[in-house]
Amino acid sequence: MWTDHHPGAALPELFATGGDTVSFAGGLPDLEALPLRTLSSQVSRLMGLGGRLTLQYTTTRVAPSLVPAIRDLMGREGASATSEQLVPTTGSQMGLLAVALGVGAPGDPVLLPTPAYPGAAAAFRTAGMEPRALPEDADGPDPAALYETVRTLRADGRNPRLLYCNPTFRNPTGATIPTPRRRELLAAAADLELLVVEDNPYGLLAFDGSTTPALHALDPERVIYLGTFSKVFAPGLRCGWIAAPEHLAPALRRTAEVMTLSPSALSQATIAAFHTRHGWDDLLDGYRTAYRERCALMADALDAELGPDGPWRFDRPDGGFYLWLRHRDGQDTERLTGPAAAIGVSFVPGSHFGVGREHAGALRLAFSNAPRRRIAEGVCRLAAALAATPAPPARGGDR
Ligand code: PMP
């Protein structure tokens, strides 16, 4: 069977939470900030006034009432899109597969700076594409390496046409590509005639509320932007969008139609109604505050438990959901999951975020949904698991 050779994107066994386990594995949002009472009365009004419409099939266009909500979010990072450029999705995971199927071609290499969100490589592989890791330096994907990689592939008769990027508060590292590097990358992509897939679930979750211009804002004709309400509203509504260069939107709309027939009118109407009445500011502030607090609790506990002279290193993120812990000598973190689970803590080993095993010497911690009062305890357990297990070398190391 096809699935025998293609692992899925999710990691359900790592995301399982036992009774006493402190889970740092799943990148789940903290939905405490959602005003559930308000939402429930809005959904009930939607049912009363237009239930037969919101529960009906709909078109493969983003609902006109939702367009202002999307434009408001994208505008905060300097980007914009017309209704013609927008394609509705059930979230960025579907967006990734729609792009891979609708714009990519089976057998094409696709370039990914790694470590990368595993769902991206899984979507590209599902469409028959071949993910290739792209080298990076301290500022992110390295334009010189991009030239080199693409030229080598083309000299070999291969034709990479897509470059995948999660440029702001990246899953799993929390890193953001600075604006000058964004411009350099886009210039290289233009030179090399690559389309850039910008996967941006976390861009508005800077702890201090600051933003970085989206790649789409800097070159709207070259960038296919994947937006989602999963991290700024709620993932359970399964609602997102693609903002594509206009000439690609029809192909993506057709692909999306094959995948889902039509998006959920109810989800779109719920989000649109919320935005019309409340806007995004308060909700975004609530999320940012929650993640800033949790990240500080986790980073302070890691500093205290792992110490400055130990073998583990991390950079304090400025936003998003994740913290990336690297072992100086490349300890294979997959072997640590068992001992960690035995003392009640979970994380995702770095190997999940590579194209091969190039990041096996790291691990991802999600602070986004860990209960505040249990973060220090979870880190204490993690430190015990890391210290108690011998360190067989892994390829990768401190990168
Ligand atoms: N891209 C990235 C970088 C992610 O972290 C995630 C989810 N964690 C997704 C895409 C998919 O999210 P969704 O389908 O809920 O929008």
Parse the chain into domains and list their residue ranges.
2-33+283-388, 57-278
Residue 325 confidence (pLDDT) above 90? yes
What's the mean pLDDT in 129-135?
96
Per-residue model confidence (pLDDT) at position 147? 97
Distance 229 CA to ligand 1 centre (A): 10
Instruction: Using pLDDT thresholds of 50, 70 and 90, give the confidence band for residue 398.
Output: very low
Q: Give the least confident one: 92-106, 259-273, 356-370, 384-398.
A: 384-398
Q: Please state, in angstroms and rounded to a whole number, the distance separating the CA atoms of residues 101 and 260.
A: 14
Strands 348-349 and 312-313: unpaired
Ligand 1 and 92: CB distance under 6 A:
yes
Other Cβ atoms less than 10 A from the Cβ of 330: the count is 22
pLDDT, average across residues 96-106: 97
For residue 119 and ligand 1, the question of a CB distance below 6 A is answered with yes
Is 2-33+283-388's fold the same as 57-278's?
Answer: no
Sorted by sequence, the CB contacts under 8 Å of residue 201 that are 6+ apart come out as 92, 166, 171, 228, 230, 231
Predicted local distance difference test score (pLDDT) of residue 331? 79
- Rounded average pLDDT over 236-248: 98
Q: Which atom of ligand 1 is nearest to the CA of 228?
A: 16
- Which of 28, 96, 171 has the most ligand 1 atoms within 8 A of CB, as the residue to mutate? 171
pLDDT score of 298 more than 70: yes
Question: What CATH code would you report for 57-278?
Answer: 3.40.640.10
Predicted local confidence at residue 16, as pLDDT: 60
2-33+283-388 CATH fold? Aspartate Aminotransferase, domain 1 (3.90.1150)
Q: Which ligand 1 atom sits closest to the C-alpha of 235?
A: 15
Q: Looking at residues 114-143, what average pLDDT do you find?
A: 96
Asked if residues 58 and 262 have their Cβ atoms less than 8 Å apart, the reply is yes
| Centroid of ligand 1 to alpha carbon of 307 (angstroms) | 32
Find the 387 Cα to ligand 1 centroid distance in Å: 32
